[in-house]
Amino acid sequence: MKNIEKYLSLLGETVDGLLLTSRYSRFYGSECDIAEGVAIVTKKGCRYFTDSRYIEAAQKGIVGFEVLETNRCNPYNKLINDAIAQFGVERLGYEEGYLTVGEFNSFADELKAELIPLGGKINSFRAVKECWELERMRKAQEITDKAFSEIITRLKAGMTEKQLQVELIYCLYKNGGEGLSFDPIVVSGPNTSLPHGVATDRVIQEGDFVTMDFGVLLGGYCSDMTRTVAVGYATEEMKQVYETVLTAQQAGIAATKAGVTGQQIDAVARRVIADAGYGDYFGHGYGHSLGMEVHEPPNCNPNGVTVMTAGMVTSAEPGIYLPGKFGVRIEDVVIFTEDGCEDITHSPKNLIII
């Protein structure tokens, strides 16, 4: 089914029009990624509004929408109201999770249709990926893998976390990344116990763990991976924690298939960590979905009740964080299939000592 048809399927008794304001839903519906704009979807017609900076790209790339330019004489709300009048829209579903209060107030004051929050349904389609979306995600993850194999040849004791972060960003772009899916996390030594720590001027030393969590954008889709490596040597405790996290991740991946809930997968990995005595040191969830955004529902965490289906995606990223000492996280991205999953991350996971 084409994505625009998925949106049209939401039209009926509850709403007779959709107002797409997020970059993600506009991209999803129109097959063209335009940084700014607004689109309206109705059964009588679909229109896409953007300004002079993007109009040429929009006219070339957008499929299934009439593209109109907004400008001083034709502000967004006037163009939306014209469409509301011409297509006879009475109830307009909007994305409440992607509007500021100011933007919402402006729509509520000026638009001549009743506004109905429908963001959950509008964005729910993105959870199950089409083949072309999965292909982009595989390619994005491949770039991330290549960057990892290169960064471990550049990582040396004596560099600071910030220096390593800059090198990592260089490797991500050099290997084909079109953007970063988020600011890479680069932490070392005791800072590795901060799951989302920020790179500092700390000098990387022998005996450190270094955790790098990073990803790129390719064709509008994100990759995400984490590896933890040791520098010089690893103590017995470091090795034991590393092996526990790896075993937990492998158990989670083995439990990943269509028909299970995120909660079930999280529980399998969490059990391994608890059995090893580190249950209090794994605070976050096992995984999150991703696609156009690096964090998307559904999640594989203790609250994840969604039953997963083939074509959904999750990260697999258990971790153990010992405050003041060190932490370990290992993260792959996997695609749910009917009878298992496809791990699209191919970087080695044995403990690398640099």
Binding mask 293-332 for Zn ion (x = CB under 5 A): ----------------------x---------------x-
Q: Quick check: 353 and 233 in contact, CB under 8 A?
A: yes
Whole-angstrom distance, CA of residue 276 vs CA of residue 59:
57
Taking only Cα atoms into account, the Rg of the chain, rounded to an integer number of angstroms, comes to 23
At closest approach, how far in Å is the CB of 181 from Zn ion?
8
Told to check if 213 binds Zn ion by CB under 5 A, we report: yes
41: enclosing H helix or E strand = strand 38-42
Tell me the H-state helices in the chain.
3-8, 23-30, 55-61, 76-86, 101-110, 119-124, 131-154, 161-174, 236-254, 262-275
Stretch that binds Zn ion, among 69-77, 122-130, 154-162, 210-218 (CB under 5 A): 210-218
Stretch that binds Zn ion, among 132-140, 198-206, 222-230, 305-313 (CB under 5 A): 222-230
Stretch that binds Zn ion, among 19-27, 208-216, 234-242, 257-265 (CB under 5 A): 208-216
Report the residue number, 301 or 306, with the smaller CB distance to Zn ion: 301
For residue 141 the two structure tokens come to 């993850």
68: enclosing H helix or E strand = strand 66-69
At closest approach, how far in Å is the CB of 255 from Zn ion?
18
Report the residue number, 226 or 256, with the smaller CB distance to Zn ion: 226
Report the residue number, 17 or 195, with the smaller CB distance to Zn ion: 195
Whole-angstrom distance, CA of residue 130 vs CA of residue 4:
13
Stretch that binds Zn ion, among 24-32, 195-203, 211-219, 265-273 (CB under 5 A): 211-219
At closest approach, how far in Å is the CB of 256 from Zn ion?
15
At closest approach, how far in Å is the CB of 207 from Zn ion?
25
At closest approach, how far in Å is the CB of 35 from Zn ion?
24
Told to check if 42 binds Zn ion by CB under 5 A, we report: no
Question: How many residues bind Zn ion, per CB under 5 A?
Answer: 5
Of 288, 254, 255, 282, nearest in space to 270 by CA = 282
The residue written with tokens 């300004």 in the block is: 51
Told to check if 224 binds Zn ion by CB under 5 A, we report: yes
At closest approach, how far in Å is the CB of 222 from Zn ion?
9
Let me know the angle formed at the C-alpha of 216 by 317 and 315, rounded to the nearest 5 degrees.
20
Stretch that binds Zn ion, among 159-167, 223-231, 255-263, 344-352 (CB under 5 A): 223-231
Specify the length of the chain in residues.
Answer: 354
Binding mask 186-205 for Zn ion (x = CB under 5 A): --------------------
At closest approach, how far in Å is the CB of 96 from Zn ion?
25
Of 276, 72, 91, 295, nearest in space to 182 by CA = 295
Report the residue number, 296 or 331, with the smaller CB distance to Zn ion: 331
At closest approach, how far in Å is the CB of 249 from Zn ion?
12
Q: Quick check: 161 and 201 in contact, CB under 8 A?
A: yes
Tell me the H-state helices in 155-235.
161-174
Main-chain dihedrals φ then ψ at residue 331, nearest 5 degrees: -135, 125
Interface residues with Zn ion (CB under 5 A) are: 213, 224, 226, 315, 331
